[in-house]
Structure 1
Amino acid sequence: MRHVLTALCLVLLTSAPPASAQDFPSIGSQYVDFGASMAAVGQMNNVMGAAVRNRRSDRVDSPRAAATTRYRPSPTVSARVRTQFADFIARADPAHSEGLRKFVQQNDLLGAWEQHVAGDGLRRGDVADAMTAYWVQNWQIANKVAFASRAQVQSVRAQVAGALAGSPGFARLGDAARQELAETFMLNFIAQGSAFSDAAARRDAGATRRLSDAAAARFRKDMNLDLRALRLTEAGLIG
């Protein structure tokens, strides 16, 4: 994944109104993810977490039978998720709620996500791609690693796809539920990545440390995983 410390910040902040551009990174300091209460988000994160915990070597597992992780996107679902996200960040930073709401409504955050991850072969419209970007970026932030290679990202994608293929809960999700799940991961990626980028660009060691600790705490609490004990390799995330 491209340099997490600068690229995402530039994609977002160069096109945003000045006040919103300044305020937006503050929402990434939230300990709880946007959409953390969604059953599907927690369930799929735990499915992936179990797959990672069971990997104890660089051995590449045989792929599961192919299962689609794509979905047919709906503008109505995107509008609903965007509004929910705007509500979340407004509550997170009430002093700047109006500017934050405008930022979310006036900027193509999902397009910014796609622009950032395209070099790693990830795309919109796919739950596995959205989860992969979220997991890799949180590993990077927790470990303060600026760069992940395309091969490493794609290896994690194979892990995610395999985990989802073995999940009856995922198989039951329809297009709307898959889209909501994917876009929730994408918006968390944007919020957390821009916050970390902004802190690094300002050389704010305290903020960088807090954001790194928050990423580690999220995964430890929600997925029972120590991101700092995992290695990101060309065979995926390995404990």
Structure 2
Amino acid sequence: MRRLTLALVGMLVTVLPTDAQDYAWQNFAAQDAMNTLHIQLLRQTIEGSQSPGGSAPTLGASETVTTYSTSRQVSAKAQRQFLDYIKERSGDAAERAVAGIFAQRAPQDMWAELVAEDGLAPGDAVDPMVSYFALNWVIANQQPDAEFSLTGVQRQVRAAMQSDPTFQALDDAGRQEFAEVLMMNFLLQQAVLSDAYVRGDTQMMQELAEAAVARFKSEMGIDLRTLKPTSDGLVASAS
């Protein structure tokens, strides 16, 4: 990963909540898919640690569609619900500020610029999940300068999606929602972490790390601090 976390995202950091460690999935069709995908990702991290040097399990590409076409209507819905989440957490002023930023530049375009050098791009729900998973590993382990290939993580996430019947049931709009909500969460967390890193705010970095660890333990049963980047993705370290 080529230092995903070091680029500030415009003025986002000035308006986003400092406890930026929650999903904003309320009322999305993709909510159930995100919840069940956690279980599949847990299985992938365990299997990867049990078979060092092997490839992450995959299914035929035709068995599960992970790509999506982009609809302005779906993007508008996702952004509106995300802004409602910002308003709920941080107030009217924060919501207006973020809305102004999104009006100037679409969040999916900001995300795409940040992750392009890591080989990630819009149009496939795998890639936003990869960036989100990797960023939270960086946050949890407090390694903002970490550089590692995301190819293994891509295989790992794709295998998890291919094993998840709830994700398989998503239609094109559902896959787009899934991807774009992850992108906006990524931007939120990346902006806060970048600001803390640039300012040398070790307390904020520690708070973000603890929040990431707690959430992944609660929702996925994964301890991000026990994972290590490998050619098979982020897998559990040998005990």
Give the shorter-chain TM-score range: 0.7 to 0.9
Count of paired positions: 228
The one-letter code sitting in structure 2 at the alignment partner of 1:82 is Q
Sort the Cα spacing of 1:208 and 1:124 in 2 relative to 1 into closer, same or farther, 3 A: same
Residue of structure 1 aligned with 2:112, choices 111, 114, 132: 114
State the alpha-carbon separation in 1 of the partners of residues 157 and 145 from structure 2. Answer: 20
Are the equivalent residues in 1 in contact too, given 2:5–2:135 (CA < 8 A)?
Answer: no
Equivalent pair of 1:121/1:150 in contact (CA under 8 Å): no
Whether the 8 Å CA contact 1:90–1:100 is kept in 2: the answer is no
Counterparts of 2:18 and 2:39, CA distance in 1: 22
Alpha-carbon shift at residue 101 of structure 1 (Å): 3.1
In structure 1, C-alpha distance between the alignment counterparts of 2:98 and 2:225, rounded to whole Å = 32
Q: Is the 8 A contact 1:33 1:188 kept in 2?
A: yes
1:74-89 to 2 correspondence within 5 Å?
74-89=71-86
Contact 1:87 1:101 in 2 (8 A): no
Deviation sequence 1:140-162 (CA, Å, 0-9, x none): 110012245453x1100001111
Question: 1:187 and 2:184 equivalent?
Answer: yes
Partner of 1:206, secondary structure, is helix
Aligned residue identity for 2:128: A
Q: What is the TM-score of this pair, normalised by structure 2? A: 0.87
1:60 counterpart residue number: 54
Partners in 1 of 2:114 and 2:209 — Cα distance?
20
Q: Decide whether aligned partners of structure 1 residues 22 and 190 sit closer, same or farther in structure 2, where only a CA change above 3 A counts.
A: closer
1:45 pairs with 2:22: no
Q: Which among 217, 222, 225 is matched to residue 228 of structure 1?
A: 225
- The code of the aligned residue for 1:117 comes to V
* Structure 2 gap segments, 5+ residues each: none
What TM-score, normalized by structure 1, do the two folds share? 0.87
Aligned to 1:123: 121
Answering whether residue 67 of structure 2 is matched by residue 70 of structure 1, we say yes
Alignment of 1:1-239 (within 5 A): 1-7=1-7, 9=8, 12-13=9-10, 16=11, 21=12, 23-24=14-15, 26-27=16-17, 29-35=19-25, 38-57=31-50, 58-61=52-55, 62-66=57-61, 67-94=64-91, 96-97=93-94, 98-149=96-147, 151=149, 153-239=150-236
Q: Could you tell me how far apart the structure 2 residues matched to 1:179 and 1:48 are?
A: 20
Q: Distance in 1 between the 2:68 and 2:5 partners?
A: 30
For residue 238 of structure 1, report the CA deviation from its aligned partner: 1.1
Contact 2:4–2:115, Cα closer than 8 Å, also in 1: no
Q: Distance in 2 between matches of 1:197 and 1:34?
A: 21
Question: Which range moves more in the overlay, 55-64 or 41-50?
Answer: 55-64
- C-alpha change, 1:133 and 1:49, in structure 2 (3 Å) is same
Are 2:38 and 2:220, in contact at CA under 8 Å, matched by a contact in 1?
Answer: yes
Give % identity: 31
* Aligned-CA RMSD value: 2.0
